[in-house]
Structure 1
Amino acid sequence: MPRKGMRTVFFKPSPSSSPMRSPPHRHTFSDTLIDENIDNAHIIISKWDSDSTTISSLFTHDRQEAMQYLTSVKQLQSAMQYYITENSASEMLVRAQNLMQIAMKRLEKEFYQILKFNREYLDPESVSSHSSRASRSSVSDFEDESEDEASRLSDSVSEVERVSMVAMADLKAIADCMIGSGYGKECLKIYKIVRKSIVDETLYHLGIERLNFSRIQKMDWEVLELKIKSWLNAVKVAVKTLFYGERILCDHVFSASATIKESCFTEITREGALTLFGFPESVAKCKKTPEKMFRTLDLYEAIADLWPEIESIFNYESTSTVRSLAINSLIRLGEAARTMLTDFELAISKDNSKTQVPGGGVHPLTRYVMNYITFLADYSGILSDIVADWPLTVSSPLPESYFSSPEPEDGASSSISVRLAWLILVLLCKLDGKAELYQDVSLSYLFLANNLQYVVNKVRKSSLKFLIGENWIEKHEAKVKQYAQNYERMRWNKVFSSLPENLGIGMTIHEVAECFKRFNSAFEEAYKKQRSWVVPDAKLRDEIKISVAKKLVPVYREFYEKYRVVVSREIASTGIVRYAPDDLGNYLSDLFFGTTGDSRSISSSSSTTSFCSLSGHPQGGKSR
């Protein structure tokens, strides 16, 4: 062994006699590979230095080179991590850090340009319309496909979708690169600025305004109703297109970081969503009147229908305020609807108008209430939810006739059926009181028949038919007939009784003459009074006329044909026999149209033939 070598082995300097020095870093094979990666990254990063290149967009100019750029940045990040661990004092680390700053500056610019210049292709409608396409996630792989396969994929989507898908893939690639390089905040800041402006602008164009409760409360109903209509037209688009599209885009671009993804979507949409769902809550807190019921139900229905989407889109903890506001709006709207139902019932009960409808026709209260209730029936599904836990409490049991047979099995449906039936019962009770305002009892019955017929018709021709049931309709149709029979008995009995009950018994000329006179007086009095009376329903009108004609015309015809000649020959006085049997049909045909004038006039009617034919003779003229 050489002497020098022996000295080195056996005579090592003591620690106390010489300072400690770190061994110099030896350039390893790994260092060489890392340095080459830095050199390669320097070439492409310097080429696209924002301060030196004249080409505005790397991704627009050459997407393949753009992918190489991102790969170089990732390699640069790996090189930095290597030197931080192995040799933090290396000049190559400083060089890599400088290159990274230049690269991030370029990527920030590229990210902004893609968001800005592809705005029409990244609008929420375009994004949400093809969200289910699996190909979106693999757009960045187009370059890896064969020429035929790439052509097939391109042909399967429209040009708008293709551009949108490519832009989304590029944004995701840049975001992944920047987040992986520690520049996630810079990327997020750019995204929020651009996309929030789009959300706010879209909501503005949809007519969504930031209106506080004080301002809404002071609005005239006509103005507020227009605002509600605008909101109803906007909310479905806002939820299913705008917010849904933003959620898809945000989830896709920032899939690399759950935290960034949530933070991004929340900051972009929360303010607009709170403005959107705050409006119906404010409307619900305004003064309640029956006229606002249907718009309130429209608002409730819109939110209820969209709730699955709202819950899914805003399912982050940071967007819980949006979910809470939507639920609170539903609760408030439901409470408002219940209040208005109660107020509506009270308004019917407290109606104290003493005005008599001319001719015993349909009362305005009947028209208003039944139109209101039929509209309520169209909202039966929503109302079932609202009244499901709000049982009807009345002082006496609801009459059996107000239930369908069999009763609905569904509890919610049964609840709304009972409540609507109860409202109709409150109306009918009020009409009973209004019928007493007529001094003529027969007109009171005609009034009740007219109004109940109107109610039955409304039930039969609307959704109420399915809620209240056929059994209810049949029972109340029978009640209409009962009212009509009571009217006929009270109004026409005097005319019927003026004719002899048994024509087989002989009568003197004087008795016959007196009988004709009594009939003439009774018939003319009845006709004169009823000329101004009204039966609006054509079917009911004809049924009443036919019923009277069947009882009157045959009996009068028999009496007329037996004694007319005798009276005319024996008694010189004219005018005792004033009417031929067929004339009665003509007069009856004039009734119940609400007309006034000469009680002796004859007007033609489509019903005349049917009334006259009951006697078994052709239509005849009036005797002179």
Structure 2
Amino acid sequence: MDSRNQAPQKSSSFSSASSNKAREVDRNLSLGTLRHGDHDRRGSAGATWEQIKEECEDDEEDGCGDPGVSELSGEIDAFIVGRDGQAPLSLPEATLEKFAAAVELQIAQTENSRDKWAKGEPPVLAAIARISALASALAKNPEASSKYASGAHRVTAVLQRAMAFLEDEFHALLEPKSDTCKLIRRPPSFEQGGHEADRCVLRPPDTAPAAAEPKPPYTPETVERLRSIADLMVAAGYVTECTQMLLVARRNAFDASVRALGYEKASIDDVVRMTWEALETEIVTWIKAFRHAINVGLSTEHDLCGRVFSGRHASVGRGVFADLARCIMLHMLNFTEAVAMTRRSAEKLFKVLDMYEAVRDSSPVIDAFLSASASDEPAAGNALADLKTEIAAARSRIGESAASIFCELESSIRADAGKQPVPGGAVHPLTRYVMNYLKYTCEYNSTLEQVFREHRRSDAVDGEDNNPFAAQLMEVMELLQGNLEGKSRLYKDPALSSIFLMNNGRYMLQKIRGSPETNAMLGETWARKQSTNLRQYHKNYQRETWNRVLTLLRDDGVLTVKGHVQKTLLKERFKQFNSAMDDIQKTQGAWVVSDEQLQSELRVSIAAVVVPAYRSFLGRFAQTFSAGRQAEKYVKLSAEDLEGIIDELFDGNPSSMSRRRT
């Protein structure tokens, strides 16, 4: 049987690779075999309108223009119904050829029309629907190959001409010409075409406000025209050509929309080589584009596919959307793989977590589309299920990267073994860095809990009730505390070691209490333990510095013997006290307590113990010395002077004994 005498039987699978290859030739050349085949002049499916009219004038007995499509439709419809019903209805072969010629003429006339849709749906669509049904009816009956050989061949040729016309119209509606974009030709395959340089991509206007409601990609009138053409092409077996054109057009539109948001796809090598500053900016743009694709783009495309392929072809629309969604999302998810391959460093954590949240939040959207398609269209459900798997894999890659980055903080604490103590016992830079880092980290506490549940270390505590991130956080705090205790031993003065631990411990406590998220993660137990440590550091400082001073102000039975003051010993005691205070002022005036509340607490606690003891000591022994030079030589400080010295401690600036009595 001559295959040219049969109606074309196109594959109904929009994703079939074999179907794609079958249509790799340009549609303008798709009729080449027929144009050069061995058939009469009316078999020229590629004929122009002028050629057709000329043929009609030269062959009036065929009645190309009269009777026309409308006059022949009744006979054709009866033949189609009869063939469908298996009734032995016959039709003159000349009628088939006349009808085919009339339809071809109508197609040629419509092609030359400036506005085919000016009066609604053009009549040629009804004619194409009829010749498509006619070709199908002829193909169903094996006897047609012999009985209607020439007529069937003519019908098939005109049907192919009609499909080429519809492809042109469908393509023009999807991507209309503009002043800045010239259409050339449609590539043959979406999968094979990739980013075609000859495609027209209409970028959203740069002047459109970013917060504006997304506009439908096409007007309702255009969507209705697309639907009319899609119905005809799918019914004729040209489902692959139709769906591929829509896929390519909408993929190009998506590429343009994300470029308008500032996102340009980069290779893995480009991403790995980026500086962090450049990559950080790129991640921000990617998140914006990804959320736009999930929250706006997919819904828009789902609605469009449902409108273009509706009714009995709804399953085709679901399949097109599934392929389009998978293509769009994979385009975006490739970036996550590249970021996960970059060098891991602490400053990347927050942007990586932002990416993780964006990918995580996309899963419910895909699940909603999946549940709507899985039962009605298994192929579409499979494509969306594959996409869901890809999203889960991307989430896992980013989550693993985030967990590893956070654990790098522990490594950095262990590695910080500086041998130079911080001047004045101030808060160590490591403490500031870690606590501020944890403050911002805990703002992602629920996300990091998810991350560590998914990527739990082998030595982590099991159990659903345990928060693995909280355990990780506690481990960081213990590491920091141990590191600081090691650094406190760098100070030769035990009192300064206590000030250092007090400063850093107070800073840690204040940072945690100032962050509800961090406080909730570590809990009140940790805060109470830290407060206990601070009180102990305070006691250690008091003991190391002021216990010796208080010992000098006690009468331990040496200064008075049988009611008589031992003046020589008293003079030595005053000398020792004055020397001790001079040393304390010079050294501890340079020590630093930056927290004003802690500074005040220290000064008050010192004054509350030392000043009353000194007042009492002066009251008992100051009168022992003769007024004048002798008294000034030994009693150099009044109680008020002592209070002044204490008030100048921990300012970070040593001062002279300016408050001494003159």
Task: Assess if the C-alpha contact under 8 Å between 1:125 and 1:241 holds in 2.
Answer: no
Counterparts of 1:167 and 1:241, CA distance in 2: 20
Alpha-carbon distance change, 428 to 507 in structure 1, aligned in 2, over 3 angstroms: farther
Asked if residue 113 in structure 1 is aligned to residue 186 in structure 2, the reply is no
Q: Pick from 595, 603, 607 the counterpart of residue 549 of structure 1.
A: 607
Counterparts of 1:243 and 1:290, CA distance in 2: 34
Alpha-carbon distance change, 44 to 423 in structure 1, aligned in 2, over 3 angstroms: farther
TM-score normalized by the length of structure 2: 0.69
Structure 2 counterpart of 1:517, one-letter code: K
Q: Pick from 437, 461, 469 the counterpart of residue 490 of structure 2.
A: 437
Query: What is the CA-CA distance between 1:175 and the residue it aligns to?
Result: 1.0
Task: Assess if the C-alpha contact under 8 Å between 1:531 and 1:593 holds in 2.
Answer: yes
Counterparts of 2:458 and 2:324, CA distance in 1: 48
- Identity across matched positions, percent: 28
Q: Pick from 558, 580, 599 the counterpart of residue 656 of structure 2.
A: 599
Task: Assess if the C-alpha contact under 8 Å between 2:589 and 2:651 holds in 1.
Answer: yes
Q: 1:177 is matched with which residue?
A: 232
Task: Assess if the C-alpha contact under 8 Å between 2:138 and 2:152 holds in 1.
Answer: yes
- Note the 1:286-365 alignment, pairs <5 A: 286-312=342-368, 316-318=381-383, 322-365=387-430
Worse-matched range after superposition: 46-55 or 174-183:
46-55
Counterparts of 2:480 and 2:244, CA distance in 1: 63
Alpha-carbon distance change, 335 to 79 in structure 1, aligned in 2, over 3 angstroms: closer
Alpha-carbon distance change, 573 to 584 in structure 1, aligned in 2, over 3 angstroms: closer
Q: 1:581 is matched with which residue?
A: 639
Secondary structure of the structure 2 residue equivalent to 1:411: coil
Q: 2:597 is matched with which residue?
A: 539
Worse-matched range after superposition: 88-97 or 262-271:
88-97
Worse-matched range after superposition: 335-344 or 531-540:
335-344
Alpha-carbon distance change, 254 to 538 in structure 1, aligned in 2, over 3 angstroms: same
Counterparts of 2:110 and 2:413, CA distance in 1: 81
* Structure 2 unpaired stretches of 5+: 1-71, 82-94, 179-200, 206-212, 371-379
Asked if residue 453 in structure 1 is aligned to residue 506 in structure 2, the reply is yes
Q: Pick from 540, 550, 557 the counterpart of residue 496 of structure 1.
A: 550
**Could you list the per-position Cα deviations for residues 433-464 of structure 1 after superposition, in whole angstroms to 9, with x for gaps in the alignment?**
11111111111111111111111112111221
Query: What is the CA-CA distance between 1:330 and the residue it aligns to?
Result: 1.9
Counterparts of 1:579 and 1:312, CA distance in 2: 82
Counterparts of 1:333 and 1:583, CA distance in 2: 63
Structure 1 counterpart of 2:280, one-letter code: E
Query: What is the CA-CA distance between 1:485 and the residue it aligns to?
Result: 1.6
Q: Pick from 382, 398, 406 the counterpart of residue 447 of structure 2.
A: 382
- Note the 1:377-416 alignment, pairs <5 A: 377-388=442-453, 411=465, 414-416=467-469
Asked if residue 423 in structure 1 is aligned to residue 471 in structure 2, the reply is no
- Note the 1:40-439 alignment, pairs <5 A: 49-51=107-109, 55-59=113-117, 61-63=118-120, 65-66=121-122, 70-71=125-126, 73-78=128-133, 88=144, 89=147, 100=159, 104-117=163-176, 164-255=219-310, 256-257=312-313, 260-261=316-317, 264-265=320-321, 268=324, 270-312=326-368, 316-318=381-383, 322-388=387-453, 411=465, 414-439=467-492
Query: What is the CA-CA distance between 1:389 and the residue it aligns to?
Result: 5.4
**Could you list the per-position Cα deviations for residues 344-395 of structure 1 after superposition, in whole angstroms to 9, with x for gaps in the alignment?**
223322322111001111111211222222222222212212222555677x
Asked if residue 485 in structure 1 is aligned to residue 539 in structure 2, the reply is yes
* Structure 1 unpaired stretches of 5+: 1-27, 127-157, 399-407, 603-621
How many residues are matched? 530
**Could you list the per-position Cα deviations for residues 62-91 of structure 1 after superposition, in whole angstroms to 9, with x for gaps in the alignment?**
22x44x654554455455556767995579
Task: Assess if the C-alpha contact under 8 Å between 1:528 and 1:599 holds in 2.
Answer: yes
Query: What is the CA-CA distance between 1:593 and the residue it aligns to?
Result: 1.7
Alpha-carbon distance change, 468 to 52 in structure 1, aligned in 2, over 3 angstroms: closer
Counterparts of 2:521 and 2:642, CA distance in 1: 44
**Could you list the per-position Cα deviations for residues 2-37 of structure 1 after superposition, in whole angstroms to 9, with x for gaps in the alignment?**
xxxxxxxxxxxxxxxxxxxxxxxxxx9974874899
Counterparts of 2:254 and 2:475, CA distance in 1: 47
Counterparts of 1:159 and 1:212, CA distance in 2: 29
Counterparts of 1:45 and 1:418, CA distance in 2: 77
Asked if residue 516 in structure 1 is aligned to residue 554 in structure 2, the reply is no
Query: What is the CA-CA distance between 1:229 and the residue it aligns to?
Result: 2.5
Counterparts of 2:227 and 2:602, CA distance in 1: 80
Task: Assess if the C-alpha contact under 8 Å between 1:118 and 1:167 holds in 2.
Answer: no
Asked if residue 464 in structure 1 is aligned to residue 514 in structure 2, the reply is no
Alpha-carbon distance change, 282 to 29 in structure 1, aligned in 2, over 3 angstroms: closer
Task: Assess if the C-alpha contact under 8 Å between 1:58 and 1:110 holds in 2.
Answer: no
Counterparts of 2:656 and 2:424, CA distance in 1: 16
**Could you list the per-position Cα deviations for residues 196-233 of structure 1 after superposition, in whole angstroms to 9, with x for gaps in the alignment?**
32122223334444434333333333333332232222
Structure 1 counterpart of 2:482, one-letter code: C
Secondary structure of the structure 1 residue equivalent to 2:651: coil
Structure 2 counterpart of 1:576, one-letter code: Y
Query: What is the CA-CA distance between 1:117 and the residue it aligns to?
Result: 4.2
Structure 2 counterpart of 1:460, one-letter code: R
Worse-matched range after superposition: 199-208 or 539-548:
199-208
Counterparts of 2:243 and 2:539, CA distance in 1: 82
Counterparts of 1:93 and 1:550, CA distance in 2: 114
Counterparts of 1:420 and 1:159, CA distance in 2: 42
Alpha-carbon distance change, 282 to 83 in structure 1, aligned in 2, over 3 angstroms: closer
Alpha-carbon distance change, 78 to 502 in structure 1, aligned in 2, over 3 angstroms: same
Counterparts of 1:221 and 1:84, CA distance in 2: 64
Counterparts of 2:77 and 2:271, CA distance in 1: 69
**Could you list the per-position Cα deviations for residues 590-616 of structure 1 after superposition, in whole angstroms to 9, with x for gaps in the alignment?**
1112113x32146xxxxxxxxxxxxxx
Alpha-carbon distance change, 392 to 578 in structure 1, aligned in 2, over 3 angstroms: farther
Alpha-carbon distance change, 284 to 185 in structure 1, aligned in 2, over 3 angstroms: closer
Query: What is the CA-CA distance between 1:176 and the residue it aligns to?
Result: 1.4
Alpha-carbon distance change, 573 to 83 in structure 1, aligned in 2, over 3 angstroms: closer
Query: What is the CA-CA distance between 1:566 and the residue it aligns to?
Result: 5.1
Task: Assess if the C-alpha contact under 8 Å between 1:124 and 1:245 holds in 2.
Answer: no
Alpha-carbon distance change, 174 to 263 in structure 1, aligned in 2, over 3 angstroms: same
Worse-matched range after superposition: 585-594 or 237-246:
237-246
- Note the 1:2-17 alignment, pairs <5 A: none
Structure 2 counterpart of 1:544, one-letter code: L
Counterparts of 1:476 and 1:288, CA distance in 2: 32
Alpha-carbon distance change, 507 to 557 in structure 1, aligned in 2, over 3 angstroms: farther
Structure 1 counterpart of 2:514, one-letter code: K
Counterparts of 1:482 and 1:197, CA distance in 2: 68
Query: What is the CA-CA distance between 1:161 and the residue it aligns to?
Result: 6.1
Worse-matched range after superposition: 578-587 or 428-437:
578-587
Structure 1 counterpart of 2:551, one-letter code: S
Alpha-carbon distance change, 45 to 371 in structure 1, aligned in 2, over 3 angstroms: same
Alpha-carbon distance change, 187 to 465 in structure 1, aligned in 2, over 3 angstroms: same
Query: What is the CA-CA distance between 1:282 and the residue it aligns to?
Result: 2.2
